[in-house]
Protein backbone atom coordinates (compact mmCIF):
# COMPACT_ATOMS: atom_id res chain seq x y z
CA UNK A 1 0.00 0.00 0.00
CA UNK A 2 2.81 2.40 0.93
CA UNK A 3 4.71 1.37 -2.19
CA UNK A 4 1.67 2.18 -4.30
CA UNK A 5 1.29 5.61 -2.71
CA UNK A 6 5.02 6.21 -3.19
CA UNK A 7 5.18 5.23 -6.86
CA UNK A 8 1.73 6.33 -8.02
CA UNK A 9 2.43 10.06 -8.63
CA UNK A 10 5.52 9.60 -10.84
CA UNK A 11 3.90 6.74 -12.78
CA UNK A 12 0.75 8.80 -13.37
CA UNK A 13 2.85 11.76 -14.56
CA UNK A 14 4.91 9.62 -16.96
CA UNK A 15 1.81 7.90 -18.35
CA UNK A 16 0.09 11.26 -18.82
CA UNK A 17 3.09 12.70 -20.69
CA UNK A 18 3.35 9.57 -22.87
CA UNK A 19 -0.37 9.75 -23.57
CA UNK A 20 -0.09 13.38 -24.65
CA UNK A 21 2.89 12.53 -26.85
CA UNK A 22 1.02 9.60 -28.38
CA UNK A 23 -1.99 11.77 -29.17
CA UNK A 24 0.07 14.62 -30.58
CA UNK A 25 2.19 12.30 -32.75
CA UNK A 26 -0.41 9.84 -34.04
CA UNK A 27 -2.94 12.60 -34.88
CA UNK A 28 -0.29 14.23 -37.06
CA UNK A 29 -0.50 17.39 -34.96
CA UNK A 30 3.22 17.43 -34.11
CA UNK A 31 4.38 16.76 -37.66
CA UNK A 32 2.04 19.45 -39.01
CA UNK A 33 3.11 22.04 -36.48
CA UNK A 34 6.79 21.34 -37.13
CA UNK A 35 6.10 21.05 -40.88
CA UNK A 36 7.76 17.63 -41.06
CA UNK A 37 7.09 14.22 -42.56
CA UNK A 38 5.15 11.91 -40.24
CA UNK A 39 7.93 9.33 -39.90
CA UNK A 40 10.29 11.94 -38.44
CA UNK A 41 7.97 12.41 -35.44
CA UNK A 42 7.37 8.91 -34.07
CA UNK A 43 4.78 8.21 -31.40
CA UNK A 44 5.62 6.17 -28.27
CA UNK A 45 3.78 3.17 -29.70
CA UNK A 46 5.86 3.33 -32.91
CA UNK A 47 9.05 3.52 -30.84
CA UNK A 48 8.00 0.45 -28.82
CA UNK A 49 7.11 -1.24 -32.08
CA UNK A 50 10.55 -0.75 -33.61
CA UNK A 51 12.15 -1.66 -30.28
CA UNK A 52 10.44 -5.04 -30.54
CA UNK A 53 11.07 -5.54 -34.27
CA UNK A 54 14.77 -4.69 -34.10
CA UNK A 55 15.28 -6.20 -30.67
CA UNK A 56 18.22 -8.38 -31.75
CA UNK A 57 20.10 -5.51 -33.34
CA UNK A 58 19.41 -3.16 -30.40
CA UNK A 59 20.30 -5.81 -27.80
CA UNK A 60 23.59 -6.57 -29.56
CA UNK A 61 24.55 -2.91 -29.59
CA UNK A 62 23.30 -2.39 -26.03
CA UNK A 63 25.54 -5.22 -24.84
CA UNK A 64 28.60 -3.51 -26.33
CA UNK A 65 27.70 -0.20 -24.69
CA UNK A 66 26.93 -1.88 -21.37
CA UNK A 67 30.36 -3.54 -21.32
CA UNK A 68 32.00 -0.17 -22.03
CA UNK A 69 30.03 1.52 -19.25
CA UNK A 70 30.66 -1.17 -16.64
CA UNK A 71 34.37 -1.41 -17.48
CA UNK A 72 34.85 2.38 -17.62
CA UNK A 73 32.92 2.89 -14.41
CA UNK A 74 34.88 0.09 -12.75
CA UNK A 75 38.20 1.69 -13.69
CA UNK A 76 36.93 5.06 -12.44
CA UNK A 77 35.77 3.51 -9.16
CA UNK A 78 39.13 1.87 -8.43
CA UNK A 79 41.15 4.91 -9.52
CA UNK A 80 38.79 7.35 -7.78
CA UNK A 81 38.76 5.58 -4.41
CA UNK A 82 42.51 5.09 -4.53
CA UNK A 83 43.12 8.70 -5.53
CA UNK A 84 40.84 10.01 -2.78
CA UNK A 85 42.66 7.89 -0.17
CA UNK A 86 46.10 9.01 -1.32
CA UNK A 87 45.04 12.66 -1.50
CA UNK A 88 43.60 12.37 2.00
CA UNK A 89 46.71 10.76 3.46
CA UNK A 90 49.21 13.14 1.88
CA UNK A 91 48.84 16.90 2.24
CA UNK A 92 51.60 17.46 -0.28
CA UNK A 93 49.94 15.22 -2.86
CA UNK A 94 46.60 16.91 -2.34
CA UNK A 95 48.02 20.39 -2.75
CA UNK A 96 50.00 19.46 -5.86
CA UNK A 97 47.52 17.29 -7.74
CA UNK A 98 44.08 18.65 -6.81
CA UNK A 99 44.31 21.48 -9.39
CA UNK A 100 45.30 18.92 -12.03
CA UNK A 101 42.30 16.75 -11.16
CA UNK A 102 39.96 19.74 -11.41
CA UNK A 103 41.59 20.76 -14.69
CA UNK A 104 40.95 17.28 -16.10
CA UNK A 105 37.23 18.04 -15.90
CA UNK A 106 37.54 21.19 -17.98
CA UNK A 107 38.71 19.13 -20.97
CA UNK A 108 35.89 19.23 -23.53
CA UNK A 109 35.31 15.52 -23.97
CA UNK A 110 33.61 15.89 -27.36
CA UNK A 111 36.74 17.52 -28.74
CA UNK A 112 39.19 15.11 -27.16
CA UNK A 113 37.27 11.93 -28.01
CA UNK A 114 38.30 11.88 -31.71
CA UNK A 115 41.93 12.39 -30.70
CA UNK A 116 41.72 9.40 -28.38
CA UNK A 117 40.30 7.35 -31.26
CA UNK A 118 43.23 8.41 -33.45
CA UNK A 119 45.60 7.31 -30.70
CA UNK A 120 43.96 4.11 -29.52
CA UNK A 121 41.87 2.98 -32.48
CA UNK A 122 38.27 1.86 -32.83
CA UNK A 123 38.30 -0.66 -30.00
CA UNK A 124 37.02 -0.36 -26.45
CA UNK A 125 40.12 1.58 -25.29
CA UNK A 126 39.06 5.17 -26.10
CA UNK A 127 35.48 4.60 -24.79
CA UNK A 128 36.86 3.21 -21.57
CA UNK A 129 39.19 6.19 -21.20
CA UNK A 130 36.42 8.72 -21.85
CA UNK A 131 33.93 7.08 -19.47
CA UNK A 132 36.57 6.71 -16.77
CA UNK A 133 37.66 10.33 -17.21
CA UNK A 134 34.09 11.53 -16.66
CA UNK A 135 33.27 9.12 -13.83
CA UNK A 136 36.35 9.35 -11.68
CA UNK A 137 35.86 13.02 -10.82
CA UNK A 138 32.61 12.81 -8.79
CA UNK A 139 33.87 9.65 -7.11
CA UNK A 140 37.20 11.18 -6.11
CA UNK A 141 35.85 14.55 -4.97
CA UNK A 142 32.97 13.10 -2.98
CA UNK A 143 35.09 10.43 -1.30
CA UNK A 144 37.79 12.95 -0.43
CA UNK A 145 35.18 15.27 1.10
CA UNK A 146 33.91 12.31 3.11
CA UNK A 147 37.35 11.39 4.38
CA UNK A 148 37.94 14.99 5.40
CA UNK A 149 34.61 15.29 7.23
CA UNK A 150 35.73 12.92 9.99
CA UNK A 151 35.00 14.05 13.55
CA UNK A 152 38.38 15.15 14.97
CA UNK A 153 37.35 14.07 18.49
CA UNK A 154 36.86 10.51 17.27
CA UNK A 155 40.38 10.53 15.83
CA UNK A 156 41.80 11.84 19.13
CA UNK A 157 39.87 9.18 21.04
CA UNK A 158 41.24 6.46 18.74
CA UNK A 159 44.79 7.76 19.07
CA UNK A 160 44.64 7.38 22.86
CA UNK A 161 43.23 3.87 22.37
CA UNK A 162 46.36 2.53 20.68
CA UNK A 163 45.07 3.06 17.13
CA UNK A 164 47.65 3.17 14.35
CA UNK A 165 47.19 5.48 11.36
CA UNK A 166 45.91 2.52 9.36
CA UNK A 167 43.43 1.52 12.09
CA UNK A 168 42.07 5.07 12.25
CA UNK A 169 41.71 4.99 8.46
CA UNK A 170 40.00 1.61 8.48
CA UNK A 171 37.73 1.99 11.52
CA UNK A 172 36.83 5.70 11.46
CA UNK A 173 37.67 7.41 8.20
CA UNK A 174 36.52 4.84 5.65
CA UNK A 175 33.11 4.26 7.28
CA UNK A 176 32.63 8.04 7.55
CA UNK A 177 33.47 8.47 3.87
CA UNK A 178 31.35 5.57 2.55
CA UNK A 179 28.05 7.47 2.19
CA UNK A 180 29.92 10.19 0.29
CA UNK A 181 31.58 7.62 -1.95
CA UNK A 182 28.19 6.11 -2.76
CA UNK A 183 26.81 9.54 -3.70
CA UNK A 184 29.79 10.03 -5.99
CA UNK A 185 29.28 6.61 -7.57
CA UNK A 186 25.61 7.34 -8.23
CA UNK A 187 26.42 10.62 -9.97
CA UNK A 188 29.20 8.89 -11.91
CA UNK A 189 27.03 6.04 -13.17
CA UNK A 190 24.36 8.48 -14.33
CA UNK A 191 26.84 10.44 -16.45
CA UNK A 192 28.72 7.35 -17.61
CA UNK A 193 26.18 6.69 -20.40
CA UNK A 194 26.88 10.12 -21.86
CA UNK A 195 30.58 9.26 -21.90
CA UNK A 196 29.82 6.00 -23.71
CA UNK A 197 27.82 7.78 -26.42
CA UNK A 198 30.52 10.44 -26.92
CA UNK A 199 33.12 7.70 -27.18
CA UNK A 200 31.11 5.80 -29.77
CA UNK A 201 30.34 8.92 -31.78
CA UNK A 202 34.02 9.66 -32.09
CA UNK A 203 34.57 6.35 -33.79
CA UNK A 204 33.15 2.89 -33.37
CA UNK A 205 31.68 -0.06 -35.17
CA UNK A 206 29.12 -1.08 -32.56
CA UNK A 207 27.17 0.23 -29.61
CA UNK A 208 24.01 2.24 -28.96
CA UNK A 209 25.80 5.51 -29.75
CA UNK A 210 26.97 4.05 -33.04
CA UNK A 211 23.42 2.89 -33.78
CA UNK A 212 22.05 6.35 -33.01
CA UNK A 213 24.47 7.90 -35.54
CA UNK A 214 23.35 5.44 -38.20
CA UNK A 215 19.67 5.96 -37.41
CA UNK A 216 20.13 9.69 -37.57
CA UNK A 217 21.82 9.47 -40.95
CA UNK A 218 19.09 7.17 -42.28
CA UNK A 219 16.32 9.32 -40.77
CA UNK A 220 15.16 6.33 -38.69
CA UNK A 221 13.96 8.58 -35.89
CA UNK A 222 11.84 5.88 -34.28
CA UNK A 223 14.82 3.56 -33.78
CA UNK A 224 16.94 6.48 -32.59
CA UNK A 225 14.41 7.07 -29.83
CA UNK A 226 14.34 3.35 -29.07
CA UNK A 227 18.11 3.42 -28.57
CA UNK A 228 17.82 6.42 -26.27
CA UNK A 229 15.18 4.54 -24.29
CA UNK A 230 17.46 1.54 -23.84
CA UNK A 231 20.37 3.78 -22.86
CA UNK A 232 18.25 5.46 -20.18
CA UNK A 233 17.12 2.07 -18.93
CA UNK A 234 20.76 0.99 -18.57
CA UNK A 235 21.56 4.11 -16.53
CA UNK A 236 18.50 3.68 -14.31
CA UNK A 237 19.18 0.00 -13.63
CA UNK A 238 22.87 0.64 -12.79
CA UNK A 239 21.87 3.55 -10.55
CA UNK A 240 19.33 1.31 -8.82
CA UNK A 241 21.92 -1.42 -8.27
CA UNK A 242 24.28 1.04 -6.57
CA UNK A 243 21.44 2.43 -4.42
CA UNK A 244 20.56 -1.14 -3.43
CA UNK A 245 24.18 -1.91 -2.52
CA UNK A 246 24.32 1.34 -0.55
CA UNK A 247 21.31 0.32 1.51
CA UNK A 248 22.88 -3.04 2.28
CA UNK A 249 26.32 -1.68 3.15
CA UNK A 250 25.26 1.39 5.17
CA UNK A 251 23.13 -0.52 7.62
CA UNK A 252 23.80 1.95 10.42
CA UNK A 253 22.15 4.85 8.64
CA UNK B 1 51.33 1.40 41.65
CA UNK B 2 49.49 3.50 39.10
CA UNK B 3 51.19 6.33 37.32
CA UNK B 4 51.37 9.77 38.85
CA UNK B 5 51.20 12.92 36.82
CA UNK B 6 53.01 16.23 37.10
CA UNK B 7 53.07 19.36 35.02
CA UNK B 8 55.67 22.03 35.51
CA UNK B 9 55.29 25.62 34.24
CA UNK B 10 53.14 24.36 31.37
CA UNK B 11 52.23 26.94 28.76
CA UNK B 12 50.48 26.57 25.44
CA UNK B 13 49.69 29.04 22.69
CA UNK B 14 47.61 28.71 19.55
CA UNK B 15 49.24 31.27 17.30
CA UNK B 16 48.98 34.55 19.17
CA UNK B 17 46.37 33.25 21.64
CA UNK B 18 47.83 32.00 24.91
CA UNK B 19 45.57 29.21 26.17
CA UNK B 20 47.59 28.13 29.20
CA UNK B 21 50.36 29.87 31.10
CA UNK B 22 52.66 28.83 33.94
CA UNK B 23 50.40 25.97 34.94
CA UNK B 24 51.67 23.68 37.69
CA UNK B 25 49.94 20.44 38.38
CA UNK B 26 50.53 17.35 40.46
CA UNK B 27 48.29 14.30 40.62
CA UNK B 28 49.27 11.28 42.70
CA UNK B 29 48.89 7.73 41.46
CA UNK B 30 45.29 6.63 41.96
CA UNK B 31 44.05 10.10 42.67
CA UNK B 32 41.12 11.77 40.91
CA UNK B 33 41.71 15.43 40.20
CA UNK B 34 38.70 17.45 39.12
CA UNK B 35 39.39 20.61 37.15
CA UNK B 36 36.85 23.42 37.05
CA UNK B 37 37.15 26.75 35.32
CA UNK B 38 35.30 29.24 33.21
CA UNK B 39 34.56 28.46 29.55
CA UNK B 40 37.55 28.85 27.28
CA UNK B 41 40.14 28.71 30.07
CA UNK B 42 41.97 25.87 28.34
CA UNK B 43 40.63 22.86 30.28
CA UNK B 44 40.28 20.69 27.19
CA UNK B 45 43.66 21.85 25.91
CA UNK B 46 45.18 20.78 29.21
CA UNK B 47 43.85 17.23 28.72
CA UNK B 48 45.17 17.08 25.15
CA UNK B 49 48.58 18.22 26.42
CA UNK B 50 48.63 15.65 29.22
CA UNK B 51 47.84 12.70 26.95
CA UNK B 52 50.38 13.71 24.34
CA UNK B 53 47.95 14.64 21.56
CA UNK B 54 49.70 18.02 21.71
CA UNK B 55 53.08 19.17 22.90
CA UNK B 56 53.06 22.16 25.24
CA UNK B 57 54.84 25.20 23.84
CA UNK B 58 56.41 25.74 27.28
CA UNK B 59 57.17 23.65 30.33
CA UNK B 60 57.10 19.89 30.82
CA UNK B 61 54.52 17.26 31.61
CA UNK B 62 55.48 13.94 33.16
CA UNK B 63 53.12 10.96 33.12
CA UNK B 64 54.44 7.93 35.00
CA UNK B 65 58.04 8.85 34.32
CA UNK B 66 57.67 9.73 30.64
CA UNK B 67 57.92 13.30 29.39
CA UNK B 68 57.75 12.70 25.63
CA UNK B 69 54.42 12.87 23.78
CA UNK B 70 54.54 9.23 22.65
CA UNK B 71 55.26 8.07 26.20
CA UNK B 72 52.39 10.11 27.60
CA UNK B 73 50.07 8.81 24.87
CA UNK B 74 50.98 5.26 25.90
CA UNK B 75 49.79 5.90 29.45
CA UNK B 76 46.65 8.00 28.95
CA UNK B 77 43.15 7.24 27.70
CA UNK B 78 41.02 10.17 26.69
CA UNK B 79 37.24 10.41 26.82
CA UNK B 80 36.11 13.37 24.71
CA UNK B 81 33.13 15.63 25.46
CA UNK B 82 30.92 13.97 22.90
CA UNK B 83 30.65 10.21 23.36
CA UNK B 84 32.20 9.57 19.90
CA UNK B 85 30.53 6.16 19.64
CA UNK B 86 31.05 4.94 16.10
CA UNK B 87 27.60 4.31 14.56
CA UNK B 88 28.88 1.46 12.37
CA UNK B 89 29.81 -0.65 15.39
CA UNK B 90 27.51 -2.21 17.96
CA UNK B 91 27.71 -1.02 21.58
CA UNK B 92 30.03 -3.82 22.67
CA UNK B 93 32.32 -3.42 19.64
CA UNK B 94 32.58 0.29 20.45
CA UNK B 95 33.52 -0.55 24.03
CA UNK B 96 36.23 -2.94 22.87
CA UNK B 97 37.89 -0.59 20.36
CA UNK B 98 41.13 -0.35 22.33
CA UNK B 99 41.35 -4.13 22.47
CA UNK B 100 40.76 -4.41 18.73
CA UNK B 101 43.40 -1.76 18.09
CA UNK B 102 45.87 -3.83 20.10
CA UNK B 103 45.29 -6.75 17.78
CA UNK B 104 42.64 -8.83 19.56
CA UNK B 105 40.10 -10.55 17.35
CA UNK B 106 36.54 -9.27 17.40
CA UNK B 107 35.31 -12.27 19.37
CA UNK B 108 38.15 -12.05 21.89
CA UNK B 109 37.46 -8.34 22.39
CA UNK B 110 33.76 -9.04 22.89
CA UNK B 111 34.60 -11.77 25.39
CA UNK B 112 36.73 -9.33 27.42
CA UNK B 113 34.15 -6.52 27.25
CA UNK B 114 31.20 -8.75 28.13
CA UNK B 115 31.82 -8.96 31.89
CA UNK B 116 32.10 -5.20 32.33
CA UNK B 117 29.04 -4.72 30.17
CA UNK B 118 27.03 -6.67 32.69
CA UNK B 119 28.67 -4.91 35.60
CA UNK B 120 27.82 -1.53 34.07
CA UNK B 121 24.14 -2.39 33.70
CA UNK B 122 24.39 -2.63 29.93
CA UNK B 123 23.72 -6.32 29.55
CA UNK B 124 21.19 -7.06 26.82
CA UNK B 125 22.41 -4.06 24.83
CA UNK B 126 25.63 -5.63 23.53
CA UNK B 127 24.46 -5.68 19.93
CA UNK B 128 22.44 -2.46 20.06
CA UNK B 129 23.48 0.27 17.69
CA UNK B 130 24.65 3.46 19.44
CA UNK B 131 21.58 5.40 18.27
CA UNK B 132 19.37 2.84 20.01
CA UNK B 133 20.90 3.66 23.41
CA UNK B 134 19.80 6.40 25.81
CA UNK B 135 22.16 9.29 26.53
CA UNK B 136 23.17 7.82 29.87
CA UNK B 137 23.89 4.41 28.35
CA UNK B 138 25.94 5.92 25.54
CA UNK B 139 28.05 7.72 28.11
CA UNK B 140 28.55 4.50 30.07
CA UNK B 141 29.65 2.69 26.90
CA UNK B 142 32.05 5.54 26.15
CA UNK B 143 33.46 5.32 29.68
CA UNK B 144 33.74 1.56 29.39
CA UNK B 145 35.66 2.01 26.14
CA UNK B 146 38.08 4.34 27.97
CA UNK B 147 38.42 1.90 30.86
CA UNK B 148 39.08 -1.09 28.57
CA UNK B 149 42.18 0.66 27.26
CA UNK B 150 43.65 -0.60 30.54
CA UNK B 151 45.73 2.54 30.79
CA UNK B 152 46.93 4.03 34.06
CA UNK B 153 45.62 7.51 33.48
CA UNK B 154 42.06 8.40 32.46
CA UNK B 155 41.34 11.86 31.10
CA UNK B 156 37.65 12.69 31.17
CA UNK B 157 36.54 15.83 29.33
CA UNK B 158 33.12 16.88 30.68
CA UNK B 159 31.81 13.34 30.39
CA UNK B 160 28.28 14.17 31.50
CA UNK B 161 27.86 17.68 30.10
CA UNK B 162 25.47 16.58 27.36
CA UNK B 163 23.09 14.80 29.73
CA UNK B 164 19.96 16.04 31.50
CA UNK B 165 20.28 16.87 35.20
CA UNK B 166 18.69 13.66 36.51
CA UNK B 167 20.74 11.31 34.30
CA UNK B 168 23.85 13.30 35.15
CA UNK B 169 23.25 12.86 38.89
CA UNK B 170 22.64 9.13 38.37
CA UNK B 171 25.83 8.69 36.41
CA UNK B 172 27.85 10.66 38.97
CA UNK B 173 26.53 8.38 41.70
CA UNK B 174 27.37 5.37 39.52
CA UNK B 175 30.85 6.53 38.54
CA UNK B 176 32.13 7.19 42.05
CA UNK B 177 32.34 3.61 43.32
CA UNK B 178 33.54 2.47 39.88
CA UNK B 179 36.47 4.88 40.04
CA UNK B 180 37.18 3.99 43.67
CA UNK B 181 37.42 0.31 42.71
CA UNK B 182 39.55 0.97 39.64
CA UNK B 183 42.48 2.66 41.39
CA UNK B 184 43.44 4.64 38.37
CA UNK B 185 44.74 8.14 38.13
CA UNK B 186 42.17 10.44 36.59
CA UNK B 187 41.77 14.03 35.55
CA UNK B 188 38.13 15.06 35.24
CA UNK B 189 37.40 18.34 33.52
CA UNK B 190 33.95 19.77 34.24
CA UNK B 191 31.82 22.91 34.29
CA UNK B 192 29.84 21.54 37.16
CA UNK B 193 31.27 22.48 40.56
CA UNK B 194 29.06 19.96 42.37
CA UNK B 195 30.28 17.18 40.05
CA UNK B 196 33.88 18.22 40.63
CA UNK B 197 33.54 18.12 44.41
CA UNK B 198 31.55 14.90 44.38
CA UNK B 199 33.80 12.90 42.05
CA UNK B 200 37.22 14.45 42.60
CA UNK B 201 39.58 13.77 45.50
CA UNK B 202 40.76 17.32 44.96
CA UNK B 203 39.40 20.18 42.87
CA UNK B 204 41.69 22.43 40.85
CA UNK B 205 40.20 25.84 40.12
CA UNK B 206 41.44 27.46 36.93
CA UNK B 207 41.60 31.13 36.01
CA UNK B 208 40.15 32.53 32.78
CA UNK B 209 42.43 32.49 29.74
CA UNK B 210 45.37 32.26 29.87
CA UNK B 211 44.48 29.39 32.17
CA UNK B 212 46.45 28.44 35.24
CA UNK B 213 45.51 26.65 38.41
CA UNK B 214 44.77 29.27 41.03
CA UNK B 215 43.50 27.11 43.87
CA UNK B 216 43.54 23.49 45.03
CA UNK B 217 40.69 22.39 47.26
CA UNK B 218 40.35 19.05 49.07
CA UNK B 219 37.03 17.30 48.56
CA UNK B 220 35.08 16.42 51.69
CA UNK B 221 34.84 12.73 50.72
CA UNK B 222 31.76 10.56 50.71
CA UNK B 223 32.32 7.64 53.09
CA UNK B 224 29.75 5.50 51.33
CA UNK B 225 26.91 7.98 51.75
CA UNK B 226 24.47 8.57 48.88
CA UNK B 227 24.97 11.45 46.50
CA UNK B 228 22.05 13.45 47.88
CA UNK B 229 23.45 13.10 51.43
CA UNK B 230 26.91 14.13 50.33
CA UNK B 231 25.94 17.16 48.29
CA UNK B 232 23.59 18.54 50.93
CA UNK B 233 26.07 18.25 53.81
CA UNK B 234 26.99 21.72 55.16
CA UNK B 235 30.69 21.13 54.58
CA UNK B 236 30.03 20.29 50.93
CA UNK B 237 27.75 23.24 50.23
CA UNK B 238 30.22 25.59 51.89
CA UNK B 239 33.05 24.33 49.64
CA UNK B 240 30.83 24.58 46.60
CA UNK B 241 29.99 28.16 47.47
CA UNK B 242 33.66 28.93 47.93
CA UNK B 243 34.62 27.52 44.53
CA UNK B 244 31.75 29.33 42.84
CA UNK B 245 32.85 32.62 44.36
CA UNK B 246 36.43 31.95 43.24
CA UNK B 247 35.19 31.37 39.70
CA UNK B 248 32.94 34.42 39.62
CA UNK B 249 35.57 36.65 41.22
CA UNK B 250 37.93 35.66 38.42
CA UNK B 251 35.31 36.22 35.73
CA UNK B 252 33.25 39.29 36.74
CA UNK B 253 31.73 39.53 33.28
CA UNK B 254 29.27 36.70 33.94
CA UNK B 255 27.57 37.60 37.26
CA UNK B 256 24.41 35.58 36.44
CA UNK B 257 26.29 32.36 37.12
CA UNK B 258 26.50 33.03 40.91
CA UNK B 259 22.80 32.38 41.29
CA UNK B 260 23.06 28.95 39.72
CA UNK B 261 23.36 26.46 42.59
CA UNK B 262 24.16 23.53 40.33
CA UNK B 263 27.19 25.27 38.91
CA UNK B 264 27.71 26.73 35.48
CA UNK B 265 26.36 24.64 32.62
CA UNK B 266 27.22 25.15 28.98
pLDDT of A57-79, one tens digit each? 999 999 999 999 999 999 999 99
Chain B touched by A166 (CB under 8 Å):
no
B162, B165, B154: which is closest to B82 by C-alpha?
Answer: B162
Q: Which of residues 169-198 of A touch B (CB under 8 A)?
A: 171-172, 175
pLDDT at A34 (0 to 100): 86
- Contact list, A167 vs chain B (CB under 8 Å): 100-101
- Contact list, B102 vs chain A (CB under 8 Å): 162
Which tens digit of pLDDT belongs to each residue from B226-239?
888 888 888 888 88
pLDDT at B257 (0 to 100): 46
Question: ∠A140-A141-A143 over CA atoms, to 5°?
Answer: 65
With contact defined as beta carbons under 8 Å apart, do B67 and B58 qualify? Answer: no
pLDDT at A117 (0 to 100): 86
pLDDT at B252 (0 to 100): 53
Which tens digit of pLDDT belongs to each residue from B153-169?
999 999 888 888 888 88
Which of the given ranges, A105-114, B19-28, B219-228, has the highest pLDDT on average? B19-28
Residue B53 and residue A159: Cβ atoms within 8 Å?
A: yes
Residue B84 and residue A151: Cβ atoms within 8 Å?
A: yes
- Contact list, A253 vs chain B (CB under 8 Å): 87
Lowest-confidence segment of A76-90, A212-226, B69-83, B249-263 by average pLDDT:
B249-263
Residue B213's beta-bridge partner residues?
Answer: B206
- Whether residue B262 has pLDDT greater than 80: no
Segment B44-59 mean pLDDT: 91
pLDDT at B121 (0 to 100): 86
Distances (CA, A) of A20 to A10, A14, A16, A230, B142: 15, 10, 6, 21, 61
Q: What does R_g of chain B's alpha carbons equal in angstroms?
A: 18
- Whether residue B11 has pLDDT greater than 80: yes
How many Cβ pairs within 8 Å bridge chains A and B?
Answer: 61
Whole-number Å distance between alpha carbons of A145 and A184: 10
Chain B touched by A164 (CB under 8 Å):
yes
Query: Among A149, A154, A162, which would you mutate to test the B interface (most chain B Cβ atoms within 10 Å of its Cβ)?
Result: A162
Segment A136-164 mean pLDDT: 94
Cα dihedral: B168, B169, B174, B175 (round 10): 60
Number of Cβ within 10 Å of residue A169's Cβ equals 17
For residue A193, the number of C-alpha atoms closer than 13 Å in the C-beta half-sphere is 20
Which of the given ranges, A39-43, A81-85, A204-208, has the highest pLDDT on average? A81-85
- Whether residue B258 has pLDDT greater than 50: no
Amino acid sequence: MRAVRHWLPPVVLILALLGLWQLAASSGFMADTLDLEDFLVPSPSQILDVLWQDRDLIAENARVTLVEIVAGFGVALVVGLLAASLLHLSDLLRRTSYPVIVASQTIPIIVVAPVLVVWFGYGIGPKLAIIALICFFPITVNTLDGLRSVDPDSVKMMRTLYASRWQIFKRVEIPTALPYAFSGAKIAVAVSVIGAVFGEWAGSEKGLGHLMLQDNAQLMTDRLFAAVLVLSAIAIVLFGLIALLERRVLRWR
Amino acid sequence: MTASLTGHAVGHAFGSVTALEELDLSVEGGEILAVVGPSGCGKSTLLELICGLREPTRGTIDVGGREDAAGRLERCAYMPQTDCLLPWYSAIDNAGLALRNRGLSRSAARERSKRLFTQFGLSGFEDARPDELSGGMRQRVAFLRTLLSEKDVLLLDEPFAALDAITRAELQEWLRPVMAAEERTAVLVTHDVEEALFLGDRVAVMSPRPGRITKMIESPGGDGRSRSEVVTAPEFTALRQRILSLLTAAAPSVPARTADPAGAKP
